Amino acid sequence: MAVGSAHFPEMPVIDGIKLGVAQAGIKKPSHDDLVVIELDEGTRVAGVFTQNAFCAAPVHVAKRHLADDAPRWLVINTGNANAGTGDQGLRDARACCEALAEAAGGVVGNVLPFSTGVIGEPLPVERIKAALPAALDALGNNHWAAAGRGILTTDTRPKGATRTLEINGETVHINGIAKGSGMICPNMATMLAFVGTNASIDHDTLQSLLSDTTTRSFNRITVDSDTSTNDACMLMATQRTQMLDAEGLTRFKDALQAVMTELAQAIIRDGEGATKFITIDVEEAANEGEALAVAFSIAHSPLVKTALYASDANWGRFLMAVGKAPVADLDVDKVVLELNGVRLAEHGGRAAGYSEEAGSQAVAEQEITVRVALGRGAHAERVWTSDLSHDYVSINADYRS
C-alpha cells in the first residue's frame, strides 16, 4: 500500500553528475541493486548520517572518506545493509571502495559506500565487485530515475523531487532521490537520500544548508519510531555556476528545502503498510522541544495509528497521546484538537458542536492534518507520519530487515 500519487518527476541533467545502475544479484537475481554515482572533480559533498550507535560499516567508511574531501564516486547497494557485521563489515565496505577506485581510476578515499537491506549478513563483496564494471559502463547524466529505482528495498515506488531556479542569470538545478519505507524515524538523516546540484557553494555552507534542511524534512518524519543503522543523506554540488551570493543562497535554500521535504513526505506516503498520510501540526507551544515532544508522541502512538487506519475519529486517543508527552504543567483546558479543520476536542473534552458525522468524514480521507494547539506560546512544529495497518505487521513479520 502507499498513499497519493506515485509520479516520479522528469529530472534535468546536472552537469558533473552521472549515474549508473547494475544487477549484482545481492538478494534477488535480475534486480537492479547496485548504483554508482560519479562526480566531476571539484564537486563538493556534504553528508548527514544516522545517530544510531550501531551505525553500519559503510556509514563509518563514508564519514571517514568524506572527511578527506575528495569524493568522486558513491557506490550504493541494496539487499544487504552491512550493519552488525563488525570488523569484517568495515573491511568489506573498504574492499568495495577499492575495487571501484581501481576500475574507475581513482584512490580508495575518493569513494563513499552506502548499503541498505538486511542487517547482520556478510556483504557479498565478490558479487558487488563483479557488477561494478557494468555500473560504470552504464554511467549517464540522465539516469536519475533508474538510480531512484536502483536504491529501493521494501519501498513500493521510487521517490524523486526536483527544482530549477534562476540565480543571477544562471540556471540552478536541484535533483534528489530517496529510499525508505520502514525503520523510519531518522535522527540527522534518513536512509538514503542523494541530492545533486550544479550550484557553486563552499563546503561549510553546503554542510549547514544540508543540516538545516534535514532538520525540517527527514528529521520530522516517522513510520515506526525505529531509527535505522544506515541512514544517510548526501548533498553534492558540482560547482558549475558562479559562487552563490547571499541572496542566491537564500533562494537556493528554499528550493533545497522543498526538494528535501518532498522526498521526506514521499517516504511517509510509501511507509510500510501505509493507507494514510498524516500531517501533525502542533501550535501554540512554548518552545520547539515541547512542540516536537507532543507531535512525536502522537506520531508514534500505536493506538492513534490504529485508529487512523480504522478511519475512527477517536479523539480520546489523541488526547491520551498529547497528555503522555513530557510537557510540564500542561493545562488541558486550553488544548484544542482538529482533524482536517473539524474541531474534535477543547476544554478537556469533546468540542461543543462536534458531530460524529463530521469527525468520521474528516478521518475517512487518505490525507489528514491533525492540528493540536497547546495554548502555551507561539512556537509551531510539523511532523509527518503514516498509520499502523495489518500490512505493517505482515511486512515486518515476514521480511528480515
**Catalytic-labelled residue, pool 78, 85, 154, 190:** 190
> Which residues is 80 bridged to in the sheet?
116, 118
CA nearest 41: which of 133, 129, 115, 107? 107
Task: Spell 126-142 as b/e; 16+ CB within 10 A means b.
Answer: ebbbebbeebbebbeee
CA nearest 45: which of 18, 63, 25? 63
Burial class (CB in 10 A: 0-12, 13-18, 19+), 357: exposed
Question: Is 153 annotated among the ligand-binding residues?
Answer: yes
261 is catalytic: no
Contacts (Cβ under 8 Å, ≥6 apart) of 246:
none
CA nearest 385: which of 283, 298, 259, 325? 298
Q: Which grid coordinates belong to 398?
A: 515476514
Is 347 a binding residue for a copy of itself by CB under 8 A? The answer is: yes
Q: Which grid coordinates belong to 4?
A: 497519493
* The binder of a copy of itself chosen from 70, 119, 180, 191 (CB under 8 A): 119
Q: How far apart are CA 329 and CA 352, in angstroms?
A: 25
* The binder of a copy of itself chosen from 269, 300, 343, 376 (CB under 8 A): 300
* The binder of a copy of itself chosen from 309, 338, 362, 370 (CB under 8 A): 309
Is 15 a binding residue for a copy of itself by CB under 8 A? The answer is: no
Which range, of 50-58, 62-70, 205-213, 239-247, touches a copy of itself by CB under 8 A?
A: 50-58
Is 375 a binding residue for a copy of itself by CB under 8 A? The answer is: no
CB of 228 to a copy of itself, least distance (A): 7
**Residue 112 φ/ψ, nearest 5 degrees:** -110, 120
Which range, of 160-168, 195-203, 204-212, 322-330, touches a copy of itself by CB under 8 A?
A: 322-330
> Which residues is 46 bridged to in the sheet?
235
* The binder of a copy of itself chosen from 23, 141, 187, 211 (CB under 8 A): 187
Question: Is 272 annotated among the ligand-binding residues?
Answer: yes
**Is 1 or 46 the residue whose CB approaches a copy of itself more closely?**
1
Tell me the torsion sign for CA atoms 117, 186, 49, 12. Answer: positive
Which range, of 30-38, 82-90, 149-157, 376-384, touches a copy of itself by CB under 8 A?
A: 82-90
Question: Is 41 annotated among the ligand-binding residues?
Answer: no
Is 54 a binding residue for a copy of itself by CB under 8 A? The answer is: yes
Q: How far apart are CA 236 and CA 219, in angstroms?
A: 20
Burial class (CB in 10 A: 0-12, 13-18, 19+), 123: buried
Question: Is 227 annotated among the ligand-binding residues?
Answer: no
CB of 80 to a copy of itself, least distance (A): 11
* The binder of a copy of itself chosen from 4, 12, 25, 84 (CB under 8 A): 84
CB of 100 to a copy of itself, least distance (A): 24
In the complex, the residues that contact a copy of itself under the rule CB under 8 A are 51-55, 81, 83-89, 118-120, 182-183, 185, 187, 224-229, 300-303, 306-307, 309-310, 312, 314-317, 319-325, 327, 330, 332, 335, 345, 347-350, 388-390, 392-394, 396-398, 400-401
Annotated binding-site residues for substrate read 153, 179, 190, 272, 396, 401
The residues assigned a catalytic role are 190
